[in-house]
Amino acid sequence: MQLRPQFAGSIMEYRRIVCSEIEALWDLQKRYKAEIGEPEPDSNGKDRLKDAMNSDRILFYGVWINGLLIGCCSVTAGFSTFDYNPSGVFEDFFILPEYRHQGIARQLVDFAYRESGVSSLTVGCADCDVPMYQSLGFTISLGNLLAFE
């Protein structure tokens, strides 16, 4: 991958985010929510997130540059009778703005897919985000995703 000149010589690492790194993840969660216009999550949400991470109900993956967490995503595993294997729901995708458009996002998605052990990975997104997710490899349309109220 080619980083912009100001990032040349940087040490980049893709790996699973563990609970001891909750503060760095929480900072990205708050920045993501602010960017999309949602309210900042509260400390109860942080506690529930940490509990879900501890019990492997949600798997977070991140990319670090020189020790700074600059992007994250999550995979929540389930089971699909489409192929009778684990399936995953992709969420919580965020790359700090100054690191976008360098291929980092695509590598993070690929890494999360491989490391999570799921046989399929789906994402629900706003219409305006469809082209972005398609460019990241989510190219199979499965119809409509609806949420129960």
pLDDT digits (tens, 9 = 90+) for 32-81: 999 999 999 999 999 999 999 999 999 999 999 999 999 999 999 999 99
Residue 85 near residue 97, CB atoms below 8 Å: no
pTM here?
A: 0.90
Question: Rounded to whole angstroms, what are the CA distances from 116 to 39, 100, 121?
Answer: 29, 23, 10
Helix (H) or strand (E) holding 71: strand 68-80
Cα torsion 4, 5, 9, 15 to 10°: value is: -10
The ranges assigned to domains in the chain are 5-135
CATH of domain 5-135: 3.40.630.30
Helices within 7-42 (DSSP H only)? 22-35
Q: Give the pLDDT of residue 1.
A: 46
Minimal CA–CA distance to 35: which of 129, 133, 149? 129
How confident is the model over 104-128, as a mean pLDDT? 94
Could you say which DSSP state residue 41 is in?
P
Alpha carbon 134 to chain centroid distance? Answer: 15
